[in-house]
């Protein structure tokens, strides 16, 4: 059967590389230890950058479900990120709500926003969806800029950091570990979704909408589910982002953010979880690593991205391992 290519899985080539449980446990242990000790190696500035990278891992995993699994081009993903952040900001500041109560509220609002935007537009072809999501992203940002409740252009400041069973999550190191946990949960949820009835349905619809319908799959509902899962990821990222920084402003949720998250997904390899994680790290770390080049760093970064897309159009992460 060797002559038949294996199907590319959500794991990319990792499943064949780590073919025994021992190897897998070893790999997981190495990753966990590396995550635990990283802040002590990279110092306080490095920890802040890594925290940001982990936030992007979470956001990119969410967008990956929309773009990578369901094949829907979403250019306004930062809107869900904003809904999460502003819900936590407003409810904790103005209504004195506990962070852990604000969090589910943020998720709920993001789901509502996802359904409101998705339900009418997911019937359209993907190109139109891209335009609508682009508009939605801008609407959310501009609304945040102009409302009194959202603090206008200067945003919200003094958002409380949360307590968890007597642990006050407040230092950058605390938040680093919180985002580690979030990213891990995000990965597990993504993998489980990919290997489920719904995960398969996303792929069916992406590959052939008509054949999927003929198999009894409601394509609008399935796409909406992807959109909603993406919104949940985005809003959780946003909620913890707000709690971490303690201050948010509309410019944190610009079109540039949406593009950056999308770039992480495409760069690493759509639909491939290790690729998406790698993409998120590259998008955040590369500009930092290129800091020595001063003004040239964004140019170098851009050229690097173009080269990657030129030579690896389906992303950096290999679809299947070469033996």
Q: What phi and psi, each to the nearest 5 degrees, are found at residue 165?
A: 45, 50
Least separation in angstroms between CB 233 and another protein: 11
- Using DSSP bridges, classify how beta strands 156-157 and 247-248 pair: parallel, antiparallel or unpaired: antiparallel
Q: Characterise 263 by phi-psi region: left (phi > 0), alpha (psi -120 to 50), beta (else).
A: alpha
Least separation in angstroms between CB 11 and another protein: 14
**Among residues 28 and 215, whose Cβ is nearest to another protein?**
215
| Region binding another protein by CB under 8 A among candidate stretches 96-104, 223-231, 274-282, 290-298 | 223-231
Task: Find all residues with CB under 8 Å of 273, minimum gap 6, and list them.
Answer: 10, 11, 12, 61, 64, 187, 190, 191, 194
201, 212 Cβ separation under 8 angstroms: yes
Burial 304-314 (b: 16+ CB within 10 A, else e): ebeebeeeeee
What binding mask, one character per residue, do residues 2-41 give for another protein by CB under 8 A, x or -?
--xxxxx---------------------------------
**Among residues 69 and 86, whose Cβ is nearest to another protein?**
69
Which run of H or of E encompasses 247?
A: strand 247-248
**Among residues 166 and 216, whose Cβ is nearest to another protein?**
216
Least separation in angstroms between CB 199 and another protein: 7
Footprint (CB under 8 A) of another protein, residues 229-268: 229
**Among residues 35 and 111, whose Cβ is nearest to another protein?**
111
**For residue 213, how many other CB atoms are within 10 A of its CB?**
14
Least separation in angstroms between CB 212 and another protein: 7
Least separation in angstroms between CB 302 and another protein: 30
Q: Kindly state whether residue 292 participates in binding another protein, applying the rule CB under 8 A.
A: no
| Region binding another protein by CB under 8 A among candidate stretches 166-174, 217-225, 233-241, 298-306 | 217-225
The rounded distance, in Å, linking the Cα atoms of 129 and 144 is 22
Least separation in angstroms between CB 309 and another protein: 20
Q: ∠315-318-321 over CA atoms, to 5°? A: 175
Q: ∠227-208-77 over CA atoms, to 5°? A: 20
Site size toward another protein (CB under 8 A) is: 32
> Is 174 strand, coil or helix?
helix
Least separation in angstroms between CB 2 and another protein: 11
Footprint (CB under 8 A) of another protein, residues 153-212: 189, 192-193, 196-201, 203-204, 207-208, 210-212
Which residues of this protein are in contact with another protein, per CB under 8 A? Answer: 1, 4-8, 189, 192-193, 196-201, 203-204, 207-208, 210-219, 225, 228-229
């Amino acid at each position: 059967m060797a002559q038949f290519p294996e199907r590319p899985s959500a794991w990319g080539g990792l499943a064949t590389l780590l073919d025994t449980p021992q190897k897998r446990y070893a790999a997981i242990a190495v990753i966990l230890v590396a995550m635990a000790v990283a802040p002590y190696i990279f110092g306080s500035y490095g920890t802040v950058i890594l925290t940001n990278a982990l936030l992007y891992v979470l956001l990119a995993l969410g967008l990956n479900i929309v773009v990578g699994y369901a094949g829907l081009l979403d250019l306004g993903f930062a809107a869900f990120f904003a809904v999460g952040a502003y819900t936590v900001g407003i409810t904790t500041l103005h209504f004195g709500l506990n962070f852990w109560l604000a969090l589910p509220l943020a998720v709920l609002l993001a789901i509502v926003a996802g359904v409101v935007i998705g339900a009418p537009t997911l019937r359209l072809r993907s190109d139109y969806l891209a335009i609508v999501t682009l508009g939605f992203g801008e609407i959310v940002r501009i609304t945040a800029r102009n409302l009194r409740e959202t603090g206008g252009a200067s945003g919200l400041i003094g958002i409380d950091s949360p307590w968890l069973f007597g642990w006050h999550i407040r230092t950058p190191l605390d938040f680093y570990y919180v985002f580690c946990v979030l990213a891990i949960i995000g990965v597990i949820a993504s993998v489980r979704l990919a290997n489920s009835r719904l995960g398969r349905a996303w792929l069916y619809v992406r590959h052939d909408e008509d054949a999927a319908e003929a198999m009894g799959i409601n394509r609008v509902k399935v796409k909406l589910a992807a959109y909603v899962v993406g919104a949940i990821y985005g809003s959780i990222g946003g909620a913890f982002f707000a709690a971490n920084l303690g201050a948010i402003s509309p410019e944190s949720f610009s079109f540039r953010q949406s593009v950056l998250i999308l770039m992480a997904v495409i760069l690493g390899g759509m639909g491939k979880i290790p690729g998406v994680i790698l993409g998120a790290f590259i998008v955040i770390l590369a500009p930092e690593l290129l800091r020595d080049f001063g003004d040239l760093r964004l140019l170098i970064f851009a050229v690097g991205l173009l080269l990657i897309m030129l030579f690896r159009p389906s992303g950096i992460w290999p679809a299947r391992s070469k033996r």
